[in-house]
Amino acid sequence: MTNFSILLLLVLCALQSCFAASNPSNFIKSSCSTTQYPALCVESLSVYAAAIRQDPHQLVQTALSLALNRTESTKTFVAKCNKFRGLKPREYAALKDCAEEISDSVDRLSRSLKELKLCKVNGQDFAWHISNVETWVSSALTDESTCGDGFAGKALSGKIKDSIRGRMVNVAQVTSNALSLINQYAAKH
C-alpha cells in the first residue's frame, strides 16, 4: 500500500465509523439521562446512532428491538441449560419456571414492537396504542425480574446460577431502559 492510500484510508475512517462509534449523539445521551441505567443505555444504543438520528420514534423502536433480541437469546441459552445433565431437582424446577417466564417476556416484547409501529398516528389512537405498549413491556419486565429472583437465593449454586442470573440482570436492565424511553415518548407526544 502506498503512503497516499494509507492516508486516504485514515481520513475516510476518521470521517465515518471510527468517530461514530465512540461519539454517541447528544440526542441519545439526553434521552438516556432519565433512564435507570444511563451508561448502559448510551452504550447499547450508540451503535445505532446513524439510524436513530433525532427521531424519537426510531429511538424507542430500536431500544425495544434490542430488548427483544437480548431476551430471545437468553431464552435460547436457558433452553440449553435445561438439557444440562446432573441438575438438582431444585435447579431443574427453577430453570423450568424461568424458561416459561422468559418465553412470556419474548411474546410480550414482540407484541409490543408490532404495536409500537401503530403509534405513528396522532390523537386518541396514539394514546391507545402506546398505553398497550407500556403495559406489555412493563409485564415483560416483571417476568424477567421474577426469573432473575428465582436464581438469587441460596438454594442454587454454581456456574449455571451465575451465568443465568448475569444474563437476566442485563436483559432486565435493557428492558427497563426501553420502558422508560417509551414512557418519555408517550409523555412528550
Angle at 51 (CA atoms; ends 46, 55), nearest 5 degrees: 95
Of residues 110 through 129, those in contact with ligand NAG by CB under 6 A are none
Q: Taking a C-beta distance cutoff of 8 angstroms, is the pair 102, 73 a contact? A: no
Nearer to ligand NAG, 77 or 127 (CB): 77
Nearer to ligand NAG, 72 or 97 (CB): 72
Nearer to ligand NAG, 61 or 146 (CB): 61
Q: How many residues bind ligand NAG (CB under 6 A)?
A: 4
Applying CB under 6 A, the span of 9-17, 22-30, 60-68, 164-172 interacting with ligand NAG comes to 60-68
Of the candidates 56, 65, 111, 142, which one interacts with ligand NAG according to CB under 6 A?
Answer: 65
Of the candidates 31, 35, 62, 177, which one interacts with ligand NAG according to CB under 6 A?
Answer: 62
Nearer to ligand NAG, 47 or 87 (CB): 47
Of the candidates 24, 56, 69, 104, which one interacts with ligand NAG according to CB under 6 A?
Answer: 69
- Cell 431444585 maps to which residue? 90
Interface residues with ligand NAG (CB under 6 A) are 62, 65-66, 69
